[in-house]
Every structure is written in structure tokens, then in C-alpha cells.
Amino acid sequence: MFSPDELWTGLGWPLTRMMLFISIGLFVAIVVESLNWNRRIGALTRPLIRAGNFSDRTSAAFSMALISGVSANTMLAESYTENKLSKRELILANLLNSLPTYCLHLPTMMAITIPLIPTAAAGYLGITLGAAAFRTLAIVLVGRLTLSGNDADRVHAPSEKPDSARSFMKTVSARFSRRLKKIAMFTVPIYICVYFMNRLEFFSALENIVAAQLSFIPLLSPQAMGIIALGFTAEISASLAAAGALLNDNVLTTQQAIVALLIGNIISSPLRALRHQFPYYAGIFKPRLAMELIVYNQSFRALSLIVATIFYIIFNS
């Protein structure tokens, strides 16, 4: 049923690549922590982070999210494991990274979106970017109201520095090896399980069930429903290509295309997160905490996009 080439292409190589990126992110996080660079890395974003009563560790992770989401989450997980970050701040910090994470992927999104839907690209990207910015500012406000700021003062003490470069590398290597083993223990089996669930069309069946229940949504023509269905069954480029074709043929208006893409984004994201995000989240964090973070993240993301979509429809009606 599964040939060796197919297993390597679909499972072996993607899993190896994911573990490689996780390893790099873990190594960077441990080095940053060992050298006590949290405050330096977070210097540029400190005014925003301080407004939410977050610590320097959250500030450093927020800045790192502009470069690597894996590294940012690994830094948060390391701080939480060492009891240098409360669970409340961990959850809020993970939600806070919506904007830098979005900006990290924005160039790729622009490269795909602008050629495929040139007339609707600005509206679609503007709404999704605005929703990400709203999420970050909202979390800053929540942090301001719920975090005391004591954690930010508590983590200012510098880490003990090694006597030599050799001692430093020995310490980093030991921490890296120990943490990577724990990550692999959860990530590898979960990723394999999700892969076979996907190959057995478990997610496709679930997506079809959800897609069949979308007829109640107003302002959506049958053609627009096709864009949403493609958002489930394929990558976002497929729905963008379909939207572009329908726009070129004047079958859909720009507003209808944008609304269809946004709804497809809202509904398909949780399942995509379960397939692609949970395996590595479960390795970086504990599986139960990983699922909790994903639920918070996806729920808040969906809520912000729903609000943004409603405002877009109202102001363009």
C-alpha cells in the first residue's frame, strides 16, 4: 500500500526536515538563554511588551518570531519549563506572536496572492494583516490587565556564565541533547500518526462533512462555495487560483471573492493546525499544553477574522 519511495517523500523527508528546523530553533533558544541575551534581543520591542506587563523573555520571543516561529516557541517553552515564565504569560505570549508570525510569512503570501488575485490581493492581505495586528494589541491590553509585572522584574537576574568557551559548549550540548530527546519522543510518533490518518483520508472526510454544512452562510454563491471547498482539500494557492479565475471571468465580484477566501481561511485553519502544527507543538511543549495553546490560538484567530469579515461586509455593502 505504501512504497518505500512514497514513504520517504511523504513521511521520511518532511519529518526529517521538521526535526532539523526544530533542532536549529532549540539550539538558538538554548544559546540565547545561556548567554542571557533575552533583554538584548527584545530591546526593539520592549516598549510594546512592557505596556502589557510582559517579561524580557516574552519580548525576546516576540522579536525572534520575526525570524523563526520555532525558535520563538522553543524560547517560551524553555522559560516555562524552568519556571521562569508563568502559564498565564506563556499562553498570552504565544497569542502575542500573531503579528510577527504573520509578517514572517507575508512575503510568501504576497508572492502568491498578488499574481493570482491582483484586484483582491490588497483587500484580502489588508484584512488578514489587520486581524493579526488586532490580536497582538488585544493581547497587550489583556496582559496589562491580568499580569502584575512581577515576572518581568523576576527574570532580570543574569544567568551564570561559563568559565570558558569549552565549558559553555559542554553546557549547551548537554541541554540540547536532553531537550531534543524529549521533543523527538512526542513529535515523531505524533507526526507519523497524523501522516497515516491523512493518507487514510480521515481529514478529508472531516473536511467534507464541515464543507457540506456551509449553505447557511449568506452572500456566498455556489462558485464561492467552491473556493471554500478548495481551501479544505488543497493548499491556499488552489483557492487563490480558483478565485482569480472566477474574478477574471466576472463570475464573482471582488467582495465575494475576498469574503469566500476569508471564510475558507477561518474554517480550514483549525484542521490545518491539527495536521501541521500539533506534531511539532507537542514536542516543544507537552502534548496537553500544546493542544491547549493551539485551541486558544485558533479560537482567537477565528474570532478576529470573523469580526474583520463582518466589518468588511458592512462597509462594502
DSSP string, 264-314: HHHHHHHHHIIIIIHHHHHHHS-HHHHHHHHHHHHHHHHHHHHHHHHHHHH
Dig out the grid coordinates for 118 from the structure: 491582483
The pLDDT tens digits for 146-185 are 987 654 444 444 444 555 677 778 878 887 887 788 778 7
How does residue 44 score in pLDDT terms, banded at 50, 70 and 90? Answer: low
Amino acid letter, residue 16 = T
Q: Tell me, rounded to whole angstroms, the distance of Cα 166 from its chain centroid.
A: 36
Q: What is the structure's pLDDT at 220?
A: 59
> Which of 4-13, 278-287, 304-313 is most confident?
304-313
pLDDT tier, 137 (very low <50, low <70, confident <90, very high otherwise): very high
Q: Which residue has the higher pLDDT, 210 or 272?
A: 272
CA distance 308 to 258: 11
Q: Which of 58, 102, 96 is nearest to 293 (CA)?
A: 96
Global model pTM greater than 0.85: no
3-state secondary structure of 227: helix
Summarize pLDDT for 221-252 with one digit per residue, the tens: 566 666 776 665 556 777 787 788 888 878 78
Average pLDDT (198-211) is 64
Mean pLDDT over each residue of the chain, to the nearest integer: 79
CA dihedral of residues 24, 26, 30, 31 (deg, nearest 10): 10
How confident is the model over 274-302, as pLDDT tens digits?
777 888 888 888 889 999 999 999 999 99
Residue 124 binned pLDDT confidence (cut-offs 50, 70, 90): very high
List of long-range contacts for 162-170, beta carbons under 8 Å, 24+ apart: 162/34, 168/34
User: What are 290's three cell numbers?
Assistant: 500544546
8 A C-beta contact, residue 108 and residue 311: no
Question: Grid cell 565549558 — which residue?
Answer: 167
pLDDT for 314 equals: 86
Contacts of 233 (CB under 8 A, 6+ apart): 204, 207
Task: Give the pLDDT band (50/70/90) at residue 68.
Answer: confident
* Alpha carbon distance, N-terminus to C-terminus of the chain: 52
Confidence of residue 55 (pLDDT cuts 50, 70, 90): confident
**What is the per-residue pLDDT for 91?**
94
